[in-house]
Each structure stands twice: as structure tokens, then as C-alpha cells.
Structure 1
Amino acid sequence: MAHHEQSKATFPEHIRKKRNGEQLSAGEIRDFVQGVKDKTIQESQIGAMLMAIWLKGMVAEETLALTKEMMMSGEVMSWPAEWEGLMVDKHSTGGVGDKISLVLAPALAACGCKVPMISGRGLAHTGGTLDKLESIPGFNVYQSVQQLHRILEEVGCCIVGQTDNLVPADKVMYALRDVTSTVDSLPLITGSIISKKGAESLSALVLDVKFGNAALYKDLDSAKSLAQSMVTVGNSLGIRTGAVLSRMNCPIGRCVGNTLEVMESLECLKGRGPDDILELVTSLGGLLLWMIGRAGSLDEGKKVISTTLQNGAALEKFQNMMIGQGVANQIAASLCSTNADYYSILRRAHYQTELETQGHGTVLDIDGMVIAQVLHRLGAGRSKAGDPVNHSVGAELLVSLGQKVEKALLN
């Protein structure tokens, strides 16, 4: 108790130290994270510390200490010995139409990996994997640790939300970062992402760091710094960590919006998806297989992943994952059938409008950010935590970059 009284008294000192650009010790960072978790620090003080970190940054040792303390603030998962070296996951920094997880997790499971993917909700203009999956009737993203083990044992992949006792300090800090304009801080993003992945006790992690006008970081250099920060901390925690930088201007694939993205993911799992999705899925998956020694090279890894999409093995994993997470057998089978009538199961929007071109020419750019903002306003995303999402809101791109378009002739 005495120690705690002591640290409480000196917490303003810690804030001042960081505010003045000094380096915090591992002990001071531990005091901060513990105080956040135990609610012994006032919200205003947490906000002040977050802003000091945002303004002054952190050196690599501080970021590592922050991530480690956040990871240890809750339960860290443990897996059966025979899964050693097979636990893998991927994290994307968020984009528009980014449905990669829905295709990649089952593809990796089809390669013998175990994928305990802990995912998030939509944030600002970017879509959330959990929101997408919840547009499938019956899909339950909240699973107990026992259930998680069972699904990984039987299927090999699951996509779930963060449980209350997994990195509890992150939940508090995340909510406060949102309201204190401190979301885009390298050490805070690194801590938030890598602490959650660290708590999954992974063998390997691949990060898809986006750059471009529809990404969190607009330019390549800042995306590179973020990738470097996360890779350094991940590797220091004993997770083999790699990163891929990918452009995020146009949406990924042709569909944006929860239900539409599920449909497009199912098409990819049936071997009929757009090339850009295929390229990302095989690159990220191939890299993971190579990192854990399941493929001799990146190219070999890409081929292995590609095969699971062509031969139906990944599709079967997705079907079983749906069933494992609460979807009725008949619904799962129906969605995964070759010529599925998706709208007999998934919600179709009441109103549909086709936008026609105002002139003729060539499509030079598709602004993912604008599309995301429009859909967000129509109800595809949230303005504040806990808002309901309208799963049927979405957009399908009927043109692609470089395509020539003609003005529609009026009758």
C-alpha cells in the first residue's frame, strides 16, 4: 500500500517529466499503466499524460516498456504445447473496403496454422472486422477463453472481440485517446496494437501498415516509422514480427460496407475475388507461412495460400468458423454454396441508386476517403462508441482505375 500512496503522490511529477521531454523509467511507466487499470489516477491526469506522450514522443525503450506493461495488465493467453510455432495473426492499421482478415484467417487455418484473431470495431472512417462479421445472422464475436480454445482446436481460426480481461488498460486509454485527440501517436498506437497481439502469445505476426489519403497516415514516411516501431517492439516481445506497407487511396476490392464486404469475402473464398484482394491475402499469408518455416520462401508461401482459395479448403474453414461462432449450420452452408443467393440471408438495403457518369473519359482516381465518409454518414459506421451500425449500407464500385467511361445517352 505504501508504495501505491508513494506513486500516487508523484504522478504529477511523471506528467511533468514527460511534458518536459524527458525519458520515463520502466517503473514510472508501470505506475502509469497500473494506475490506469486500477483507476487510481484521475481521468484528467491520464489525458494529460497521453497528450504529453503525443507531444514529446517516446524512445524505443519507453515504447517497449509501455507495450509490455499494457500487455501484462490483463490475462496473457497460453496454448497447448503441440501448437508451438503455429500461432499466427495479422493486423491492419485500417482502410476502406479492407476485408482481408475474413479471407486470410481461414486460408491460414487451411494451411495448419492456428489464428486467434482478436479484432476491433470500425474507427472513424475505417470499417471494423467485427461489425462486418455481425452482419451474418447469428455470428457471435464474443467467445469465452474456453470457447476460443475449442474453436481453434476444431477449426483453426476464430475472429473475436477483445474480452474484458485482455489488456484492460488499453480499453481505458483507447477511449480517452479518442476524446483527447491523441489517437495518432506512434508510441500509443504501437502500445495499443502490439499489447493486444502480445497477449495472444503469438509465434508470428504480420502488420499491414496502410499509407495514402484514406489511411491513418497519409504519407509513406510516417507509415514506415509506424511499421518500424511496431516491428521493433513485436520482435522485442519475442514475436516474429514483419510488416507490409500497402497503398490505401482506392478502396480494396469493389465493395465497401459491412454486408457487401462479407459477400465479396465469400466470393474470394470461392476463388472468384478481385485481384487486389488476392494479392494482399497471398502476400500477408505467404509472409506468415515463411516466417514460421511452413514455406521455404515468400513466393512458395503465396502459392500455398492461393491454393487454399482455389480448392475450397479456406472456404470450408470459414464455414466451420461461422458455425463455431454461433451461425446456424444451414445458413453457413447456404452462404458457402457455389451459387449462393446471398440476399436470402443477408440484409439488402431498402434503397439502391446507381450513380451515372456526368461525362466521358477515363477513371484516373477513386477516392476511398470520400466513399467511406459518405457511407459513414449513411449509417455504416459510428459517430460515438456504442452507436448501432446499419449493416446493409454500402457501395459497390462498378468502374475500375484506367477504365474508359461514356456518358449515358438519354432516350
Structure 2
Amino acid sequence: MDVIDIIVTKRDGKELSNDQIDWVIDAYTRGEVAEEQMAALNMAIVWRGMSRSEVGRWTEAMLASGERLDFSGLDRPTTDKHSTGGVGDKITLPLTPTVAACGAAVPQLSGRGLGHTGGTLDKLESIPGWRAEVSPAEMQRILADVGGVVCAAGTGLAPADRKLYALRDVTGTVESIPLIASSIMSKKLAEGTGALVLDVKVGAGAFMKDRESARELARTMVDIGTDHGVRTVALLTAMDTPLGRTVGNALEVTESLEVLAGGGPADVVELTVALAREMLAAAGLAGAKDPAEALHDGSAMDSWRRMVAAQGGDPDAPLPVAARTREVLASGSGVLSRLDAHAVGVAAWRLGAGRARKEDPVSAGAGITLHVKPGEEVRAGDPLFTLHSDDPDRFERAEESLAGSYTIGGAYTPRPLVIERVE
């Protein structure tokens, strides 16, 4: 094989063969194909796209670069969820123990936040003692004993994707639906789950800003999963406004505990239940206990406590609290008609809740409490936001981000949280 021929083939809009894809992914992972050559191929894919068969084979080649987990020995079916990322998206925290309480095993491999979107592992690491690193053998044991585990992906899963993602991040080749879909699905298929539900976010705070591109991404990932024998369903869900009333690591854990206790914000509860029902149905457990019941009878909370303890965490320990707070007050009265999720995410990041580079630390207590959500009334002088930070010098830049993030007055049209279903 000649990597130049492969680059030229895709540059000219032709379809890559299975042999070409297998070879270039393997050779790049081994270091035989140079970074600049793979960067050129990625850019050609950004411009020319990929067919369904190409995307499927590209995913398969990345899968073949590493190990695959196998949970077939468990006495319950496996099912998992993946979100494309948003602001205040804490859903994994109440969702995983809820689904486990309803009879499924949930092997949830998650990541850390980067930029304006939060990371599930950052949130859970605000719990004293909790650890994200879990070996495959530990995953098997925890899933058998508890039914749910949320942890970091090991380096042996899809190493080609790990290397490719880092390259795409610095070469302007992230925005490609075939490359995004194959990146997500190679990791999820390597995880070994029997069923998968995708939460594809749409709107200002999401990677996909419009419904059409979100649908295309969902369709591509569902096709990949289906072609690999995994029951895969996607929900397109709204991300114009942050989920819930908190953005930030420990703040979102606290809100998740409210949901697990049978309360919490209506939108977080709605999405948790909707995704849980899809996960159970995809796993063949549609007739199992209803997730809404698990949230109200305490079984989901019991499952959460066992999950946290199984990974070294203390479910009774107090969560970190930021050293300083500041309120942002409403300048006028009326109905809040708009709250931009992206701006709120950037503000939380500036307060210390997120990171600009993967190696940056995060502040567990930093973030934002939202006192008013779209559709609710506010009076001049009432608090709109409470900012939380360990560093008071961060407040000013966070307030700059929030300055144009909301509108008080004008027409407010409620929008559905779950926009569309793709299977």
C-alpha cells in the first residue's frame, strides 16, 4: 500500500477500499504513516465525506487496533448511553443507577470535560475517594455485583482513535460527521455493550447546532451500530438551554442526588426517564421495572450508593463547596425568554469548572446555579445566577460571558426536550 495513493483517492472523491482503510489505520497506529500524511487524509475526508461502507470499515479498523471488552458472562443484558455533550448534562449520573435498578448492566465509559462542555468523570471525581480508573476485571465484578459502573476508558480500547482524535484536534479536522461518528462508535463498540442509546444534542450549547446535521450524525452512528450487531437507537434532544439548574462538577452531583431522591428539575427527570426506557427496551427489558418508579421508590438511589462505594467513593461525604460566590441580578422584570447554553458553559469554564487543555486541573466546587429558566418570571433585582469559584478574580470574566446570554421579555415558545427518535 502507498499512503499517497490513498490520500489522492479520497482527495479526488473516490471510495476507499476495505484493504486501503485497514492498512492506513494500522500503519498510522504503528507510526508508519506520518502525522502530516494522516492529517491530509483527514482533511480529504472532511471535504469529500465517506460512504456508509467506508465509515463502517473505518470504525472496524479502529476497533481492530485494540482490545474489546466482553460482558457476555453476566447474568443480565448490557446497555449503554452516549451523549454528544452539552451544558449541565449530568444525565449519566442519575441514569446509570436507575437503569441498573431496573435489571440491566450498564458499562459506562465516560470522559472528562474540555472547553464549555462538562465531563462526567470530573463530576464524579468531586466525590471524596471516588476513582475513575477501573480495570476490565474490576468492571466485570462491579457490574455483576452492582449493575452499573462509570469509568475512564483504558488505553487498550481503540488506540487508533485516541491517536487520531488528538491529531484532528490540532489540524482543524474535527468537524466531519464520518470522523465524529467512527470515533464515538469505535470506543462504544470496543466497550462490548449489547445495546446502545445515543443522546445527540442539538442547539446553541451542542456541537451540532441544527437539527439536520444532528440527524445526519445520529443516522450515521445508528447505522454503524446496527451493522456491527449492536441494537442502536438515537434521540435528538434540545441543548439551547442548560439542563437542570446547575452547571459545574459538585453542583451537578448535588442536583443528580435530588433526582435520585425522587425530586430534581423536571427536564433532568424527563430526559433520565426517556433515555432509561430506551436503554431497557434496546436491551430486551421493555417489560422490566419502570425507571420513573425506580426514582421514586428509592431503588435507584440504593443503586447509586453501591456504585459510588464500589469505586472507592463515600456516598455520605460532603461535596466540595467553592470558597466564594457572587450573584448576578436581573436588570428588568418579565418572563425569561432565552438562556444561551453555550454562554453559560463558557462562564462556568471561566469560573474554574472546566479546562482549556486536557492536562488542566478543574475546581470541583466551581460553577453556576441558575435561579430562573426560560418560561419563568423574574423581577428586577432578583438573582438570575449565583456564580461559584475558589478564585474571586474569575468572576468578572464569567460575568462578561453571561452579559448577552439571556433575554427578559418578548415571546417565549416552549420547545420539546426530546425532538426526534432515530433507529
For 1:336-372, what per-residue CA distance to the aligned partner results, in whole angstroms no more than 9, with x for missing partners? xxxxxxxxx2211111011111111210011111111
Mapping of 1:102-113 within 5 angstroms? 102-113=93-104
- Within the candidate set 137, 140, 146, 1:146 is matched to 137
Instruction: Report how far residue 82 of structure 1 moved.
Output: 4.5
Mapping of 1:80-99 within 5 angstroms? 80-83=72-75, 86-99=77-90
For 1:182-219, what per-residue CA distance to the aligned partner results, in whole angstroms no more than 9, with x for missing partners? 11211111111111111122211000011111110100
- Within the candidate set 3, 21, 42, 2:34 is matched to 42
* Residue type at the aligned position of 1:312: G
- Within the candidate set 315, 321, 327, 1:348 is matched to 321
Aligned residue number for residue 112 of structure 2:
121
Aligned residue number for residue 256 of structure 1:
247
Distance 1:110 1:257 in 2: 26
| Segment of structure 1 superposing worse, 286-295 or 390-399 | 286-295
Aligned residue number for residue 224 of structure 2:
233
3-state secondary structure, aligned to 1:216: coil
Aligned residue number for residue 288 of structure 1:
279
- Within the candidate set 206, 210, 220, 1:219 is matched to 210
Aligned residue number for residue 338 of structure 1:
none
| Segment of structure 1 superposing worse, 74-83 or 353-362 | 74-83
Aligned residue number for residue 360 of structure 2:
387
Distance 1:64 1:123 in 2: 27
The answer to whether residue 156 in structure 2 is matched with residue 165 in structure 1 is: yes
Distance 1:12 1:176 in 2: 18
Distance 1:22 1:315 in 2: 53
Instruction: Report how far residue 118 of structure 1 moved.
Output: 0.6
3-state secondary structure, aligned to 1:364: strand
3-state secondary structure, aligned to 2:179: helix
For 1:119-155, what per-residue CA distance to the aligned partner results, in whole angstroms no more than 9, with x for missing partners? 1111331111111111111111111111111111111
Q: Which has the higher strand share?
A: 2
The answer to whether residue 270 in structure 2 is matched with residue 279 in structure 1 is: yes
Distance 1:217 1:378 in 2: 25
3-state secondary structure, aligned to 1:81: coil
For 1:287-315, what per-residue CA distance to the aligned partner results, in whole angstroms no more than 9, with x for missing partners? 1212222125xxxx7x7001111111111
* Residue type at the aligned position of 1:306: A
Q: Which has the higher helix share?
A: 1
Normalised by the length of structure 1, the TM-score is 0.90
Identity between Structure 1 and Structure 2 (%): 44
Distance 2:296 2:128 in 1: 26
Aligned residue number for residue 314 of structure 1:
300
Normalised by the length of structure 2, the TM-score is 0.88
Distance 1:90 1:393 in 2: 26
The answer to whether residue 341 in structure 2 is matched with residue 368 in structure 1 is: yes
Q: Which runs of 5+ in 1 are unaligned?
A: 1-6, 336-344
- Within the candidate set 70, 74, 77, 2:69 is matched to 77
* Residue type at the aligned position of 2:309: I
* Residue type at the aligned position of 2:373: S
- Relative to structure 1, is the Cα distance of residues 83 and 198 closer, same or farther in structure 2, using a 3 angstrom cutoff? farther
For 1:13-42, what per-residue CA distance to the aligned partner results, in whole angstroms no more than 9, with x for missing partners? 111111111110111111121122212211
* Residue type at the aligned position of 2:269: L
The answer to whether residue 373 in structure 2 is matched with residue 400 in structure 1 is: yes
Aligned residue number for residue 54 of structure 2:
62
* Residue type at the aligned position of 1:407: A
